[in-house]
Structure 1
Amino acid sequence: MATVKGKTRRRESLDNPPNLSIESPLRMLVFGSSSRDQIALTQSVLGPDVLRDEVNISATKKSSGVVQGRNINLVNTPNLQDNDLPDSVLQKELKKAVCFSCPGPHAVVFVLDPFHLTSDTMDILKPVVHYFGESVLKHTLIVLYHERGLKTLSIEDEVKKNKSFRELAEKCGQNYLFFNEEMNRTEGSQTQALLAKVDEMVLEQGMYSNVEFKDAEKRIQKEERFIRKSKEKEIRETVKMLENEHSGEALASEIEKYDEKVQLECREKAELAVADKLGFTLRVVDYAVAVGKGAFVGALLGFAIGYDAMAVGAAIGAALGGVLGGAANAARSYISNSFADAHKGTA
């Protein structure tokens, strides 16, 4: 594998919480009670050019920028209030959110309008809790976003009277803050407060991760290595060009910048590639390795006939392929679980 000369310097300090170096991005996974508020918060933090053409967030979007000297990644998930997404589509988009925020978000941000809190506010987060698990609430920061030039204290008093909000705040460990857009435009203080709160949560809880994030990260790293290997010739040629144009410290600086650019490009391409494959494709490929090619081919033959024939096809294929021990049962269980959503869709 081609390597870029020069070494990326890692700058760690006691001012940075664990998992939060200056160079590594601060990752936030964003949900919300409305697409409008999600978009508005993202633009307030990263700048007005981000998500400019978006009105309704119906698919997972990753936005990045440098804010107050820090690399920030905001991954907006489909808005669960504005979109009535089928389970299969929602699951696919949440898997994309996992890939885009690997190896794990430092915080899960839940954007609410403090003037439109309802008794079913908690219901918006139920699919998130169902998918990621109850532990995700420990890493959830409630951001009460508003654009009115009102005193935060008066709004806070009103919000605390809302029983639904009090219950939600309790579940999230009282991690919430008010974000005044008007104040942020003039001072930038609200973004600073948001980042400080996330840093505080990371110190207490660490970044959020689970088995799915770890699995996705392994796949992304593998894909990243493959992509970088495919760019070996391009990398060598670019480094040679830089060596002809620069020398000494200037050369080292240019090579370091180029290396960081290549790393970022490879990472983003790898995330997209794995996000596209997560679900049916990767699980079936893994299954072919786990139970043998015979079972895999049998399953695909069964799929061509119909859902009910898939487990049978896998079992027969496993027997024909001479797979050792329990392959038929594994096939039946795997296929049933993997394609339950597909079966529901055709029922």
Structure 2
Amino acid sequence: MAAVKGKALRRGSSGHDRPNISSETPLRMLVFGSSCRDQISLTHSVLGPDVFTADEVNISATKKSAGVVQERNITLVNTPNLQDNVLPDSVLHKELRKAVCFSSPGPHAVVIVLDPFHLTSDTMNTLKPVVHHFGDRVLKHTLIVLYHERGLTSIEDEVKKNKSFRELAEKCGQNYLFFNEEINQTEGSQTHALFAKVDEMVSEHGMFSNLEFKDAEKRIQTEERFLRKSKEKEIRETCKVLENEHSGDALLSELMKYEGKVQLECREKAELAVADKLGFTVRLVDYAVAVGKGAFVGALLGFAIGHEGMAVGAAIGAALGGVLGGAASAAWSYIYNSFTYAQKGTA
């Protein structure tokens, strides 16, 4: 569950809004990495050492951590490390659904943490699952963080000569940052630079969102309202207790703190609940846009006879929609994915 410090996080904007970024704007970052150690170390550097315990050396499940850093509400959503874990497709799909819900209505940046001393031809593989799940457009919102603990500045010149890194940086629009832990421990300047770079990216491209995030956010808000309603009696009773114990400004302060606590609790429970429910239907929405209405209608026609029928209906609809709309390659891709997800029974 989320490790939370400080006040409740305010919600960010959705879609492709380009907000005026200020030092008070909350930031949500979705974190991937070339190793669990690098992910955990960066999270410790930004949020503090109590986020991950000493026993946690592996990230095999999505984890949301939040805190107030340099007077900003910061949320880091660490995804399972795919270099250190071999996860079944069904488990990975579930964890990425959680990542979507935990960073909804969308991350301000997708952070790829790399070790600058170990950049190999496999470095590009770190990016593949991100693009596979979120699409090519996520690259505009991807920031490469080259995390290292040693106070070496010469490493930057060596990294820039590395062919694998140059290819990766090119795909991510040259959005990269060297994060020197040794310097950060005394000055906090590296964390500040990280926030500034994310702010710069958001000012240019807005936060990342797609149909999956938008659908998740709608579901989360609905679940939040349901949870809030179920707590109405408890909320009324707690407010009465506070009114009996406090007055004036002190009462207002206590009521605001309690309201923030209720909001945060309902939000976190809603995110978990929706993450468990999301699945094939969300993937279907994304594919419908990519392929066209033909595939979407075909899938709906097949829905009445289950996942297998859904895949068949999608295949027929995709073929017709693809041909009529000039999207044959997308249609065949949709057909393949429809059968794949139907066979695995992801839901």
TM-score, normalised with respect to structure 2: 0.77
Q: For residue 32 of structure 1, what is the aligned residue in structure 2?
A: 33
Unaligned runs of 5+ in 2: 1-7, 13-17, 285-296, 314-333
Residues 228, 266 of structure 1: 8 Å contact kept: yes
The answer on 1:119 being equivalent to 2:121 is yes
Shift of the 311–282 alpha-carbon distance from structure 1 to 2, 3 Å rule, reads closer
The answer on 1:169 being equivalent to 2:145 is no
How far off is 1:340 after superposition?
A: 3.4
How far off is 1:341 after superposition?
A: 3.4
Q: For residue 275 of structure 2, what is the aligned residue in structure 1?
A: 275
Q: For residue 320 of structure 1, what is the aligned residue in structure 2?
A: none
1:3-152 to structure 2, matched below 5 A, reads 18=19, 25-52=26-53, 53-150=55-152, 152=153
Please provide the CA RMSD for this pair.
3.1
How far off is 1:338 after superposition?
A: 6.5
Residues 280, 338 of structure 1: 8 Å contact kept: no
Whichever residue aligns with residue 146 of structure 1, its letter is: H
The answer on 1:258 being equivalent to 2:258 is yes
Is 110-119 or 84-93 further displaced after alignment?
84-93
Shift of the 226–93 alpha-carbon distance from structure 1 to 2, 3 Å rule, reads same
**CA separation in 1, counterparts of 2:48 and 2:26?**
17
**CA separation in 1, counterparts of 2:203 and 2:34?**
27
Unaligned runs of 5+ in 1: 1-7, 285-289, 301-306, 315-333
Q: Report how many aligned residue pairs link the two structures.
A: 296
Shift of the 282–197 alpha-carbon distance from structure 1 to 2, 3 Å rule, reads closer
Larger radius of gyration: 1
Please give the per-residue CA displacement for 1:21-65, whole angstroms capped at 9, x wherever unaligned.
777631000000001100110011111111213211111111111
User: Which of structure 1's runs of 4+ aligned residues deviate more than 6 A?
Assistant: 21-24, 281-284, 334-339
Q: For residue 189 of structure 1, what is the aligned residue in structure 2?
A: 189
Shift of the 168–281 alpha-carbon distance from structure 1 to 2, 3 Å rule, reads closer
Whichever residue aligns with residue 210 of structure 2, its letter is: N
**CA separation in 1, counterparts of 2:61 and 2:27?**
21
**CA separation in 2, counterparts of 1:249 and 1:339?**
61
Identity %: 80
**CA separation in 2, counterparts of 1:283 and 1:215?**
10
**CA separation in 2, counterparts of 1:272 and 1:167?**
36
Whichever residue aligns with residue 27 of structure 2, its letter is: L
Shift of the 92–21 alpha-carbon distance from structure 1 to 2, 3 Å rule, reads farther
1:285-324 to structure 2, matched below 5 A, reads 299=305
Residues 110, 141 of structure 1: 8 Å contact kept: yes
Please give the per-residue CA displacement for 1:93-150, whole angstroms capped at 9, x wherever unaligned.
1111000000000111000000000122112211210110111111111100001121
How far off is 1:172 after superposition?
A: 1.1
How far off is 1:86 after superposition?
A: 2.4
Whichever residue aligns with residue 46 of structure 2, its letter is: V
Whichever residue aligns with residue 260 of structure 2, its letter is: E
Whichever residue aligns with residue 108 of structure 1, its letter is: V
